[in-house]
Amino acid sequence: MSLVDFFAYSDGQQWMAEAACAAPNVPHEWFFPDEEKGETSVRAIAICNDCVVREECLAYSLLHGEEGVWGGQSERQRRRMKRHAKEQALEESNQAERAAEEASS
């Protein structure tokens, strides 16, 4: 299945019509590298770097837990982004708690 086909079956996201990876000359496989075979995300990420819907794509993939390269980020990079966001949210929550405790004492 090409990315064009995949996007055709997606949930009607308008930005997908502008996806650089949907061009017929872009191999779908580049976006789903098999690391065990030594394949990397480099070629896919290069396509993403020129894509006009990169931000929408990244947000969509983070929300839906997609596999492969989306929004110029590999799966590993997106996992790291999510972990960092959770840690940051926890730290902000802890800071707010401490500030509330200090204000009430």
What whole-number distance in Å separates Cα of residue 12 and Cα of residue 37? 33
Applying CB under 6 A, among 53, 74, 75, 78 the residue interacting with ligand SF4 is: 53
What whole-number distance in Å separates Cα of residue 3 and Cα of residue 102? 54
Nearest 5 degrees, angle CA 75-CA 78-CA 84? 145
Determine, following the binding rule CB under 6 A, whether residue 47 of this chain makes contact with ligand SF4: yes
Determine, following the binding rule CB under 6 A, whether residue 54 of this chain makes contact with ligand SF4: yes
Please say whether the beta carbons of 44 and 21 come within 8 A.
Answer: yes
Minimum CB separation from ligand SF4 for residue 85, in Å? 19
Q: Binding residues for ligand SF4, how many (CB under 6 A)?
A: 14
| Sole residue written with tokens 């989306």 | 70
Applying CB under 6 A, among 33, 41, 57, 75 the residue interacting with ligand SF4 is: 57
DSSP-derived 3-state class of residue 50: coil
Minimum CB separation from ligand SF4 for residue 32, in Å? 11
Applying CB under 6 A, among 51, 74, 75, 78 the residue interacting with ligand SF4 is: 51
